[in-house]
């Protein structure tokens, strides 16, 4: 049996994606670097095994594909992928397609797409979100590559994608690295959302003395309202889970050191290169870094004063509304970054469509994304996304609660870096006249950098004389 597509890499995600493809009727050749993973995978595929074509070794794997061939790699995207591309390229023919379905630095994707185009091979950078469950039953997918690749692969992609009210959660976002870039920013927003949720949990645990299960119950309630989302649902489930032996909340036994594989950091690196400042994402990356400095925190804890005062943690409706405001702001920062990238790289990213394909399947799926899709469609071309119709009204209503939450954290000495970053951005963007006139004056004083005046064309220098 010849296959419609080959999936190389039978880890959790690759395996799940292969089964999803087979379930939708596609014949899937599978292979893996460790050949002894292949047989157990096929054995576990049940009736779907009849559409799985197991192959050991790259040559046999490629030979099992119907031309023009489509090979999907789900392997670590750094050097291992480059090595794999080098090995597979001589086995392919002009018109064949290589898909990288892992999380990749979009700069690498751009480079790989260019190099393969010279060999008349298509390269697709496919951002996939949704974890194992998504890959198996319907992920959200961000497709980057040529229009020709999209035309060819679209039926397959739409067949396996998550659906939101029937609409497949996959779109062709642009050439080269566009899909991986959007996936990276998705993860940046994921970092910010997770961090803000964790800050609310921290306030309730440390500021209000709530037990994990009680916080979990509160989150379950929120999941029935405007905060409804996969991450709130997951958080509630996690907080309610208890150790089989002791009956104690599992979360209480987990070390407070957050790992990170790099997509949050990549989001910030690209944002800074583009002159953007998605501060909620930066705060989330920072917080993970601080969390990893466990030894330093342990040494400092109790050794330096809090300088805090006794404050009450705001009640549940304020926490819910405050989190809602901060979540909107974090998403808007992510979308502003996408818009900047779109302009800089000439991608014409369709922002509302991106919000739409994030409504199901992916990790940040939420009720908010439906609201956002609508607002992003309605916002006038080039206008700040903060003015998105409807969102401005929600923000006006919920920002007072965010102030109360951040205020309590600040006064009480409980860290709320991402929530505070959201609020600081909101307040900074509300200022038609900020305080940067002083920065310009300082720069001119010590470096003769010049400044613009509001009342005369420039550039100008100040009459600075003394350093008093």
Asked if the bond preceding 68 is cis, omega within 30° of 0, the reply is: yes
46 Rama class: left (phi>0) / alpha (psi -120 to 50) / beta: left
Closer residue to ligand 6PG in complex, CB, 258/375: 258
Q: Cβ of residue 168: shortest distance to ligand 6PG, in angstroms?
A: 17
Closer residue to ligand 6PG in complex, CB, 116/369: 369
Q: Cβ of residue 11: shortest distance to ligand 6PG, in angstroms?
A: 12
Q: Cβ of residue 364: shortest distance to ligand 6PG, in angstroms?
A: 8
| Site of interaction with ligand 6PG (CB under 6 A) | 103, 129-131, 187, 190, 259-261, 263-264, 362-363
Closer residue to ligand 6PG in complex, CB, 140/223: 140
- Separation in Å, CA 236 to CA 198, 249, 284, 317: 11, 12, 20, 17
Closer residue to ligand 6PG in complex, CB, 349/363: 363
| Nearest alpha-carbon partner for 265 in 340, 191, 331 | 191
d(CA 321, CA 317): 6
Q: Cβ of residue 417: shortest distance to ligand 6PG, in angstroms?
A: 17
Closer residue to ligand 6PG in complex, CB, 263/333: 263
Q: Cβ of residue 382: shortest distance to ligand 6PG, in angstroms?
A: 29
Q: Number of helices (H) and strands (E) in the chain: give both, helices first.
A: 19, 10
d(CA 330, CA 190): 9
Q: Which segments are annotated as binding site?
A: 103, 129-131, 186-187, 191, 261, 288, 443, 449
Q: Which segments are annotated as binding site for substrate?
A: 103, 129-131, 186-187, 191, 261, 288, 443, 449
Contact 26, 4 (CB under 8 A): yes
Instruction: List active site positions.
Output: 183, 190
Contact 68, 61 (CB under 8 A): no
Element housing 5 (H / E): strand 5-8
Q: Cβ of residue 305: shortest distance to ligand 6PG, in angstroms?
A: 33
Contact 30, 52 (CB under 8 A): yes
Closer residue to ligand 6PG in complex, CB, 146/260: 260
Query: With b meaning 16 or more CB within 10 Å and e meaning fewer, what string describes 445-464?
Result: eeeeeebeeeeeeeeeeeee
- Return the residue nearest ligand 6PG (CB atom): 129
- Separation in Å, CA 157 to CA 82, 179, 263: 24, 13, 23
CA dihedral 267, 268, 269, 272 (to 10 degrees): 120
């Amino acid at each position: 049996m010849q296959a419609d597509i080959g999936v190389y890499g039978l880890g959790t995600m690759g395996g799940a994606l292969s089964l999803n493809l087979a379930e939708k009727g596609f014949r899937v050749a599978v292979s893996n670097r460790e050949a002894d993973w292949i047989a157990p995978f096929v054995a576990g595929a049940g009736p779907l095994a009849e559409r799985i074509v197991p192959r050991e070794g790259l040559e046999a794997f490629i030979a099992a594909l119907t031309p023009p061939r489509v090979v999907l790699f789900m392997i670590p995207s750094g050097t291992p992928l480059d090595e794999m591309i080098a090995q597979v390229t001589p086995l392919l023919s002009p018109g064949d397609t290589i898909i990288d379905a892992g999380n990749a630095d979009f700069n690498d994707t751009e480079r790989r797409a260019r190099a393969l185009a010279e060999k008349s091979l298509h390269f697709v950078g496919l951002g996939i979100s949704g974890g194992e469950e998504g890959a198996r039953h319907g992920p959200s997918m961000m497709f980057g590559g040529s229009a020709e690749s999209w035309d060819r692969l679209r039926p397959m992609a739409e067949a396996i994608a998550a659906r939101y009210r029937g609409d497949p959660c996959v779109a062709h976002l642009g050439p080269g690295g566009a899909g991986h870039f959007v996936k990276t920013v998705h993860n940046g927003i994921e970092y910010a959302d997770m961090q803000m949720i964790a800050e609310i949990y921290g306030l309730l645990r440390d500021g209000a003395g709530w037990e994990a299960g009680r916080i979990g119950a509160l989150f379950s309630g929120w999941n029935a309202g405007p905060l409804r989302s996969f991450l709130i649902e997951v958080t509630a489930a996690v907080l309610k889970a208890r150790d089989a032996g002791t009956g104690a909340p599992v979360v209480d036994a987990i070390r407070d050191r957050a790992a990170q594989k790099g997509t949050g950091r990549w989001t910030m690196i690209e944002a800074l290169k583009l002159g953007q400042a998605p501060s909620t994402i930066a705060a989330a990356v920072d917080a993970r870094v601080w969390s990893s400095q466990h030894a330093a925190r342990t040494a400092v804890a109790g050794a330096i004063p809090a300088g805090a005062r006794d404050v009450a943690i705001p009640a549940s409706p304020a926490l819910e509304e405050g989190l809602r405001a901060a979540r909107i702001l974090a998403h808007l920062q992510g979308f502003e970054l996408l818009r900047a990238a779109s302009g800089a790289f000439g991608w014409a990213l369709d922002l509302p469509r991106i919000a739409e394909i994030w409504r199901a399947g992916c990790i940040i799926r939420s009720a908010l994304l439906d609201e956002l899709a609508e607002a992003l469609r309605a916002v006038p071309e080039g206008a700040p996304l903060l003015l998105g119709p409807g969102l401005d009204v929600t923000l006006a209503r919920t920002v007072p609660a965010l102030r109360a939450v951040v205020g309590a954290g600040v006064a009480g000495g409980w860290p709320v870096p991402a929530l505070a970053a959201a609020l600081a951005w909101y307040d900074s963007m509300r200022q038609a006249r900020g305080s940067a006139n002083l920065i310009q004056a300082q720069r001119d004083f010590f470096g003769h950098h010049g400044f613009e005046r509001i009342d005369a064309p420039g550039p100008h220098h100040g009459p600075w004389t003394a350093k008093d």
